[in-house]
Amino acid sequence: MGVSMLKMDRAKAKWRVKLSRAFSGKAVDKGAKTGKYVLFILPLITVLREGMEAVIFVGGVSLGQPATSIPIAAIVGLICGLICGYLIYAFASRTTLTVFMVVMTNFLLLIGAGLFSKAVWAFQENAFNNLLGADVDDAGGDGPGSFDVRGNVWHLDCCNPENNFDNDGWSIFSAIFGWTNSATIGSVLSYVFYWIAVMCVLVAMKFREGRTKLFGKESAMGKKRRERKEAQEAAEAEAVAAAAASSS
Residue 225 phi, psi dihedral angles, 5° rounding: -65, -40
- The confidence band for 208, taking pLDDT boundaries of 50, 70 and 90, is confident
What's the pLDDT score for residue 76?
Answer: 84
List all residues 6 or more positions away from 13 whose beta carbon is below 8 Å from its beta carbon.
none
Q: For 128-150, give one letter per residue: b (16+ CB within 10 A) or e.
A: beeeeeeeeeeeeebeeebbbee
In one letter, which amino acid is 49?
R
In one letter, which amino acid is 232?
Q
- The confidence band for 116, taking pLDDT boundaries of 50, 70 and 90, is very high
The predicted model gives 208-228 an average pLDDT of: 80
pLDDT digits (tens, 9 = 90+) for 180-198: 888 889 899 999 999 999 9
What's the pLDDT score for residue 193?
Answer: 95
Cβ atoms of 151 and 184 closer than 8 Å: yes
The predicted model gives 228-247 an average pLDDT of: 82
Question: How far is the C-alpha of 171 from the C-alpha of 178, rounded, in Å?
Answer: 9
On the CB side of 178, CA atoms within 13 Å amount to: 21
On the CB side of 156, CA atoms within 13 Å amount to: 12
What burial class does residue 160 get, using C-beta atoms within 10 Å of its C-beta: 0-12 exposed, 13-18 middle, 19+ buried? buried
What is the helix, strand, coil percentage profile of the chain, to 5? 70, 5, 25
pLDDT digits (tens, 9 = 90+) for 11-55: 666 667 766 766 666 555 555 555 566 667 877 887 888 788 777
Cβ atoms of 179 and 117 closer than 8 Å: no
Name the percent of the chain lying above pLDDT 70: 71
The predicted model gives 103-124 an average pLDDT of: 88
pLDDT higher than threshold 70 for residue 94: no
